[in-house]
Structure 1
Amino acid sequence: MESTTAQQKTVGTDTSDQVRRHRAVALLSKVEQLKGHCMGRTAVHLRISKLSEKGFNLHQARIIATVFETSLSVLEGEIYHLHNQDIVFIGLTRQLKALDAAEGKLASLLQDHDVSLEVLRREEILLRFTLDLYYEQFLSHIRNMAVREQRAYAEGTATVPEGFEERRPLDSKGLAELERLLENADITDLVRQQSACHLTEDLRSKPVFTEYYTSIREVERCLLPGTDLLDNRALFKYLTQILDLRMLVVLRHEASRSSKEMVSININVSTLHSQKFLKFDQEMPIGLRGRLMLELQYDDVFSDYKNFTFARDFVRQQGYRLCIDGIRLDGFSYVDRHQLQVDYVKLLWDDSWPRRFNNSIARELHELVQRNGSEHTILHRCQDEKIIRFGQKFGIQLFQGHYVDGLPRARGR
């Protein structure tokens, strides 16, 4: 099968019902023709249908598919669209750098959802096959897809891709209902935890503190199914303030369980000004306050710095610790924990860092770590060892993320 540019030849765009019903079957036929002619070819499968598991709605998934397809369009090869919105690309192995760039752009689009390239691959949302080595596996993979496609059409379930449901945006009525439910709900099952750890050179972890946070998708699923809580940013911001108050209860409980471990939650600056936080503070035993850390978002802090400083002075006087979270590349030169009077600063990794890094940014990061201290600078969203090694190169010693969660613990001193 001769390759053409993906932009010139896109398979599966015929609007006739007969062609739509047999997209995977047509792809299977093409793959069967490749037998004995696989040398120098690579295939990629973006499983848009699995993005529902990461909390994306159908509209978002279609945008992701469009962006990825546009990135692939400059490569030599063929793009195939399947009934469930999945994309399969068959191209040339010699274009791997360009393919890596397309996949990197995809990961950058998903970074705010805490979905990295490593996550895409580990959870088999993004699959890659070197066909001269794994042709038979790819053939079996496509054959199974063709069977599922035919079954979906036979059962009349191919209208909406599997796993997706059309969700309504959060409105004021839904927010009021959610507020009522959260007032009385036990949110224990909605709470997740993740430790920020000091890592040894051989990647053994020593927890410094444990962050507790709510899973928004679990809140959706359990309390307001069929609603997209992230769609309306203004209402979502108010929702986070409601969740703040519930998480304070969790914070008090977790701090009371241990006499040593430091625990933290994310919280809005506005919540620290509320009467309910004052009530929480009055009920908190003085001896526990030093082990409670309040994490404030970088954007929240600098959008109203005067309110931040007022709240900061109050909570520090009461004995709480503070962390500035959510610091991206453009915030490196502005963060000084001594001037901000906070205990930790947390940098938010995303997969665009290696591409965007230059001498100027590298110097800013080096100076940030020097200014704030290697034991007080945390690199967050660490999904693989390469990210950790990147941070260590600049002197960072504290890390947080899914990869860190799976590392063995260092032995006690």
Structure 2
Amino acid sequence: MSKDVTTLDRMVDYVKQLRLHTEGRRALHIRLSALERHFREEHYRLFAASALRSVITRFGATMFALPNTDLVLITKDARVDDIDPALNVIRRKLRGSALIASLDPVQGVSDEFAVWFNVEESYPEFKSYIEQLSALLHLGESAQEAENEVSGRRDRRRLKSASSQEMPVTLRQPNHVRIMPVNPLPKEKGDRSLDPDLLLTLTKALHGADVAGLLRKQFVKAILGDAPPMPVLEHKFVPRQLIYENMLTSRVLSENRWLCGYLDDQLGRQVLASTPAMTNEVSLASSIQVTSASVLSSAFDAFDKALGKHPRSKVVLEFGAVDIVANPTDYQEASLHVLALGYRISVGDLHPLAFLALDVEPMQAAFVKIQKPLGNNSNWLNDKTEVAIQNKIDRIGKARVILDGCEDKTDIDLGHLLGITLFQGHAVDPVSEI
């Protein structure tokens, strides 16, 4: 199966992941494939994507460029009035098309060129529509490949399926399918390390993107003796690896900690702007990864407003240790702001030796996460270090220290040896979709 079809399946997966994130979402399917052949050329699609730039910049959104030249835009908190002016610009550009000239468009009403969905009110219908559209394009590509094997050069218009009567889509051989936050971005090829060029590609892709469908969750659990593990925090985050897989064709072999910090700032803003639900029925509270810069941005204001009357004391904001050390002034301002609102703070991604070296009390954190280092424990742990960590955990309080990155039972045993009772990782709870 071609890479284009695989990316088309990704759009279907994204829509499925929106099942619990439909609030305020609206979608628009722009059917360039319904126009005459010369209006389906790539520069018209690029113009259409550019016309929608203001919508994507102002509202969290994800755009998909389909292999039949269509565009699917999924927005967050954008009204029809916010989107329709951009759509009118596209219609004017394409006014030479017989189809466009024959239409008398009504704002927010579907026609043969633009199909509107209020995802919040009609998610099942929207999901079914996207699945049918994807299936039809799959069918179109399969049929095209079969035709090419037989004759090599048959008229593509003969590939129209009988099912297109229910959802007319003009099929053509796909050129490329990719998530387009603003414009189609050239994807990096070849395995490489995270460098400034790759970082620029990723930050452009993230700008204005709706990342709600990429959110994952993992429980932090208390494990005491033989008692069943008890969920304490439901941690929500977007794994960087998932960002790489969705926005790059290359594998990222290694990460630069400081470049990752810049990427985390951008990702933190987009996660907050997606206003994820922080209520849960299983654990005592929910936590979410943030950075000082993202908390000081307008995205946090939107996140706080979306919480409504939900108790802020049941929301834990996790700041990375490097972010705090590298930006102490920003962290001080951000922490004072969120503490005044009633939120609680967690300090994450602490190496055990950094945990010993840092005075975490001034950070005013309710929780401290120690990241279990990869490799052999003897590389960082000896008798003296073990006692020092035990003593520091006793001073801080066992109910506040979490051992993160627990991949198997031996990691949990190590945590118990150090006096830790809170754990996170695959050995405790698998990462799952929200």
The equivalent position to 2:384 in structure 1, one of 356, 360, 364, is 360
Percent of residue pairs identical: 25
Please list the CA deviations of residues 229-288 of structure 1 after superposition, one character each: whole Å capped at 9, or x if unmatched: 9656554432221110222245x4331465965221222222222233234334442434
Who is 2:172 aligned against?
none
Who is 2:261 aligned against?
237
CA contact (8 A) 2:401 2:420 kept: yes
- TM-fit CA distance, 1:346: 0.8
CA contact (8 A) 1:335 1:368 kept: no
- TM-fit CA distance, 1:168: 5.5
Q: Which structure 2 segments of 5+ residues have no match?
A: 1-188
Who is 1:398 aligned against?
422
Change (3 A) 1:314 1:259: farther
Residues in 2 aligned to 1:174 and 1:358: alpha-carbon distance in whole angstroms: 39
Residues in 1 aligned to 2:326 and 2:206: alpha-carbon distance in whole angstroms: 28
- TM-fit CA distance, 1:219: 1.8
Q: Which structure 1 segments of 5+ residues have no match?
A: 1-164, 407-413
Residues in 2 aligned to 1:193 and 1:186: alpha-carbon distance in whole angstroms: 17
Who is 1:388 aligned against?
412
The equivalent position to 2:224 in structure 1, one of 175, 180, 200, is 200
Change (3 A) 1:348 1:203: farther
Residues in 2 aligned to 1:363 and 1:352: alpha-carbon distance in whole angstroms: 18
Change (3 A) 1:229 1:215: farther
Please list the CA deviations of residues 143-199 of structure 1 after superposition, one character each: whole Å capped at 9, or x if unmatched: xxxxxxxxxxxxxxxxxxxxxx72356676765554454345443442222111001
CA contact (8 A) 1:332 1:364 kept: no
Change (3 A) 1:278 1:254: closer
Change (3 A) 1:358 1:210: same
| One-letter code aligned to 2:327 | D
Residues in 2 aligned to 1:235 and 1:356: alpha-carbon distance in whole angstroms: 25
Residues in 2 aligned to 1:394 and 1:355: alpha-carbon distance in whole angstroms: 16
The equivalent position to 1:224 in structure 2, one of 245, 248, 256, is 248
Whether 1:272 and 2:295 are equivalent positions in the alignment is: yes
Change (3 A) 1:223 1:330: same
| One-letter code aligned to 2:418 | F
Whether 1:211 and 2:235 are equivalent positions in the alignment is: yes
| One-letter code aligned to 2:310 | G
| One-letter code aligned to 1:370 | D
- TM-fit CA distance, 1:204: 2.5
The aligned runs of 1:10-409 (5 Å cut-off) are 166-167=190-191, 175=199, 178-202=202-226, 204-226=228-250, 228=252, 234-249=258-273, 252-256=275-279, 258=281, 261-350=284-373, 351-405=375-429
Change (3 A) 1:300 1:173: closer
Residues in 2 aligned to 1:231 and 1:374: alpha-carbon distance in whole angstroms: 32
Task: Give the aligned CA root-mean-square deviation in angstroms.
Answer: 2.9
Secondary structure, counterpart of 1:255 in structure 2: coil
Who is 1:155 aligned against?
none
CA contact (8 A) 1:337 1:344 kept: no
Who is 1:60 aligned against?
none
Change (3 A) 1:315 1:229: farther
- TM-fit CA distance, 1:205: 1.2
Who is 2:56 aligned against?
none
TM-score, normalised with respect to structure 1: 0.52
Please list the CA deviations of residues 13-40 of structure 1 after superposition, one character each: whole Å capped at 9, or x if unmatched: xxxxxxxxxxxxxxxxxxxxxxxxxxxx
Change (3 A) 1:286 1:371: farther
Change (3 A) 1:384 1:230: closer
Secondary structure, counterpart of 2:368 in structure 1: strand
Residues in 1 aligned to 2:195 and 2:381: alpha-carbon distance in whole angstroms: 40
CA contact (8 A) 1:196 1:210 kept: yes
